[in-house]
Chains A and B, each alone.
Chain A
Amino acid sequence: GQQVMQIPQYQHVQEGEDFTTYCNSSTTLSNIQWYKQRPGGHPVFLIQLVKSGEVKKQKRLTFQFGEAKKNSSLHITATQTTDVGTYFCAGPDSGGYQKVTFGTGTKLQVIP
């Protein structure tokens, strides 16, 4: 079945440093979504990318979708303590049109 892997699994950064998580799918994706889950919380949708090579920005967050539509990245500039949480990418699964497969996640810890 489809696999969606993320690296790194964990990342500790000093507040103010940048952070990047990478997402790689075993299959080509029609789109990719990103979610953030705070500690003790639930996943919250951040963004969806659809086009090959697409880049979208949300304040300090920059999202990219690879040219081959098999990978994606999330980059956070100048991290803040509010960025703490686990970031998941999620891609559509061929097993059903409403089914998405979540990536393995990257847990971000920001040291003040």
Chain B
Amino acid sequence: DTEVTQTPKHLVMGMTNKKSLKCEQHMGHRAMYWYKQKAKKPPELMFVYSYEKLSINESVPSRFSPECPNSSLLNLHLHALQPEDSALYLCASSQVYRNNEQFFGPGTRLTVL
């Protein structure tokens, strides 16, 4: 299974809502990533988990809270978001070795009203 799945596909939320994005992979990868991608821009790294521990946080605002409950799952908890947080949120996974190819999920299209 070489697939990364993400739910939901689309999410519309108000600025006071709390929601979560979910990501799952069964490739045995021990590195998992969250990226944010705005229209016509490259993916921007938000967080990296390595062996279920947060290894990189790219100075992301605390209204985004990642969680890695086990080696297959990655969550992104959202609270009090701003309209400018509207974007495509991509999850990816890879082997832990330096600079392995990353497998991306289809993404969650988030709209904040």
Contact = CB atoms under 8 A, between A and B. Distances in A.
Interface of A: 30-31, 33, 41-45, 48, 88, 92, 95-100, 102-105, 107
Interface string B44-63: 11001010000110000000
Interface residues of B, number: 24
Contacts of B99: 30-31, 33, 48, 92, 97-98, 100
Contacts of B16: none
Interface of B: 31, 33, 40-45, 48, 50, 55-56, 90, 94, 96, 98-99, 101-107
Given A45-B101, A100-B99, 20 more contacts: A41-B106, A42-B106, A42-B107, A43-B43, A44-B104, A45-B103, A48-B99, A92-B98, A92-B99, A95-B56, A96-B55, A96-B56, A98-B33, A98-B94, A100-B45, A100-B102, A102-B43, A102-B44, A104-B42, A105-B42
